[in-house]
Structures are given as structure tokens and as C-alpha cells.
Structure 1
């Protein structure tokens, strides 16, 4: 197949490109060339999807069997790509987010759960991330004349992660010592490896699927304590976990999800954070590897980056704040 990947060089886009090339597809990537590295074997077209002239240059004289849009976040911008690619590809696969579901993360959800209200031509200031993702889905569903495949992932982990969640924990635990650990170690999680998600998206794209899927891991595929224990095992660290309860951390203004990546306190706001149903996607071929493999392979990638050059975005607690809270907990 001839596949255009809008993105194609960072994290999920990279994984999709790698898998597509491995399967023997002819791949074109379209990106600005500032965030990642082009993979050998793919045709790289430089351009900014927000610049109409760049989109016109991309489609001039080209057609594909399918398009996979990895990084669309603004409905109006996604709609511009859809209009130009309509008739030049048979399938438009759009990577959305579980955050487009209005009940998430407070409640369980599946494909029948309502999405946020957002127009397909909404601009960047017309809502938050989840709301705009819902509008992007509608821009594809309503604007593309061929097959519209929507995949809304949950929490994605794995090698080349650019968000910094698992990499931050691996880096922190590798340094050893007393490590402040948040909440209940038995809290069940639900995560998916980026490579498994990429394989599912490609398989459904190859089939010309016209449908929408929530795609996350298997419910309870690891606990929070088990996840951190896997980080300790692969790094060979002597880390000693000191588990502090949710209320204690919230009283000290520790930010859920970011200061301790993937920490979701036991509260109504996060009651469904690890409960999205991926049953439909699993029935359609989604297969998930053990989380331990994801942790191992992510550490193998991360350890090749010098410690001073590791970037975790806005994730991770300040060392001084962690030390102070450890002292207060003791």
C-alpha cells in the first residue's frame, strides 16, 4: 500500500512508520522536520499542516491508498487536510484520544459514550484538548468521502516516548535511594505499548475499516506498585519505595498525573481513569504485550541518552519537594 503519515517521526508516528515499512508499504511522511528523525526508507516531505500552500504542495501529483493523521489537534486544521486529501486516498485514519469522551476520566466509557460537543471547524481557542479532539473526529467523519477510521487511545507508553511519563520514573528510580511513591500500590492500571497501538492502527487501515475504536491496554494489566517495581528491576536500582497516601500528597499540593506521572488519586474525578473499555478493539485484532516488556524496552532506549540530556516535559516532582515530603511523611 501507499501510505501517507502526517507526522511520522515522533513516538506514535515513528512507531507507525517503522511498522508500515516493516510490512513493506510505500510510506510518505509529512512534517516540519524539527521534532524527530526521518526513518530510512520513507519519503519525507517537509511542510507545516497549518500552511495551506504546504498542503497544496504535498498533494500535487500524489495519491495514496490511505492517510494516517497522527498529530491533528485543531478541527479546522484537520479539516483542511481532509478536504485536500479527499479523493486522493481511500481511507483516512485519525488518531484521536480517550480524552474526547466527555465522561472520561470520571466514569467508565466505551464507543457508545458521548463525546464532547465541538464543531468540525472549531479553532484552537474553542475548547481544551479533549474537546478539540472530538471536533477533529467529526472533521474526518463528516468531511472525508472514503473510509474514516477513528482510533482513540488511552495511556500510551513505550520506547521514544516524548511525553516523559515512563522515562521520568525510570530515570528517578535508576538514581536509587528513598523514592516517594504516590497513593495505593495496588491501584490497577490500563496502559498500552506504542508498538501494539501502531500495529492495530495499521491493520485496520490496511483493511479499509470505516469505524471508531477506543484503544487501550487490558484492564488491570498492571498495578501502580507493579509498574514501579518493574522500573526498579530493569534499572538494577536499590530504590526503596516510600508509599504516601493520596490525602497526604494532595494536602501538600502535589499535582496528580504530572508531578508523579500517572498518579490518579482515589477520587470521583479519576474514578474511571483506568476503566475505558477496549473490548471492541481487542475483538478487531488489538493485541497487547506484557507491560514488563514495555518497561524493559523503554529503559533500553532511555539509557542510551546521557542523563543530562533526558527531557521529561512538565512531568516529575522537584527533588527538593520530594525530599521535603519524604521527611514530613517519616
Structure 2
């Protein structure tokens, strides 16, 4: 919240009055009304417990309050993290360079380890997009992993980063990391971003497993990706899961679900994503695989177009 330049107290007062609450109603049993008055007057700063209690009585989340404090804008670091999370849904080179530009500006102003990790993850992605050089991209990913591997626990920010460097590992290790990530994410079941992150982990992992020709193992994770995508109404990821499912089933001689690729093509047709449809028909095995020698430039602007 380094960009905040609006006093917390005056913002609390404005929200309270707009919602029609009295100081007594906001302070309730958690603090004296006189204490709350001092908060509104910016005479004292609330403790974390009192701050959360105030927001609860105002029917407001911390995220919304922070947004209001910044005059309906995200702070500098919050913007970088927000954009980085969008890579799960919209991995375009333009977005990657926007994150790099904003991240480099922030770290020139102050030290921020998370932003440094995001920068390395994005630089690795840029190499994948522009040069399709997996070995070179891994050098950037390794810089990130050097810090991540010594942490006792990963939270959402760390999981977003690990998801975007999954290509650093062999497919077996990537599967173990994905399992750990998915288990952790079950604890965040009420947060909207979590299901998108789950799908993205499964997208990256199935890329790696298919490249290693581990088709039966891939199918195990594709089915999870198919289920999560259907529940999220994420049509592009559902189509991707269907394409990969038919490819893997054919590889192991299982012809029990014919027509999955045709179904995926119909989905893409209905979304008017003709470029993605053409890529499916041209090379279904490498569809949306950022790690192969596939022509990524043909798909990067089409995923959410």
C-alpha cells in the first residue's frame, strides 16, 4: 500500500457516513466509541484486529478498502501482482513486457523480493515466446526456484510464481509440485482466483507430461483440468482439455471417447476463435504448448481475443 496518500481516518469516516452508520454501530463491542473517533480523526492508528473489526462492521473487505484509499486504483505492487495473475488466462508477450516494465520501475525505487521473482519468471516467459529457447528460459526460472525451494510454506503469491516456472523441472518433479500446489489450493476454496490457478497448473503439467510421452499419467490430470474448466465455464481451457484427452487416449489405444477434438473445434467455432481452431486441426498434440517448438506467436494473442 505504498501508493496510498489518503488518510485512513477520513476515508473511514466518509464510508461510514455514506453507508448511514453511526460511530457507535461501527465501534460496537470491539472498542470504545471514543477510540474509534480517534481513528477517524487520524489521531491514532488502529491495530490489525481493530482495523479488521471496523471493516467487518462496514461490510467491506480489505481489498476494497485499499482500492478506495488509492482513489479506485491498484497500488504499484498490487498492479504488478494483478497483471502477473492474468498470465494464467492471457499469456501474451505484450502483457509480459508490461509486467517487466512496471516491475523494473518498482525495484529501482525500493527492494521487493516478490517483484524480483515475478521479473525473472516473466523474463523466462519472454524467452519462451520470442526465442522458444527452453534451456535459456530455465536460467531465469532457476533464479526464482532458488528462493522458493527453501520456504517452509507457499501462499497464493508463491504458487502463482511456481506455476509460471513449472517448465524448470522434469515432468515427475513437476507432478509432485503440482500435487502439493493443488492440495494447498483446496484451503482457499472460496477465492475466485484459485480455480483459474488450478487449471493453469494442470495446463502446464500436462504440457510437460505429454512431451515426455507419459500419456496415461497425463490423462489423470487432464480429467481434472476438464472438470475444473467445465465448472469455471472456461471454454478455451475446456477445449484444450478435450484436445489433449483425445490425443492421449489415441496414444494408448483407447478409442472409447471418439470425437473429443471435433467437440473442441465446435467450442472454438462458437467462440469465433478461428486461429485456435486452425491450430487444433493442424497439430492437436502441441496445441497451446508453450514449451515445445510450436509457433507460439500464432496463439498468444488469440486466447482471450
After TM superposition, the score normalised by the length of structure 2 is 0.27
After TM superposition, the score normalised by the length of structure 1 is 0.26
Q: In proportion to residue count, which structure has more strand?
A: 1
Q: Which of these two proteins has the greater Rg computed from alpha carbons?
A: 2
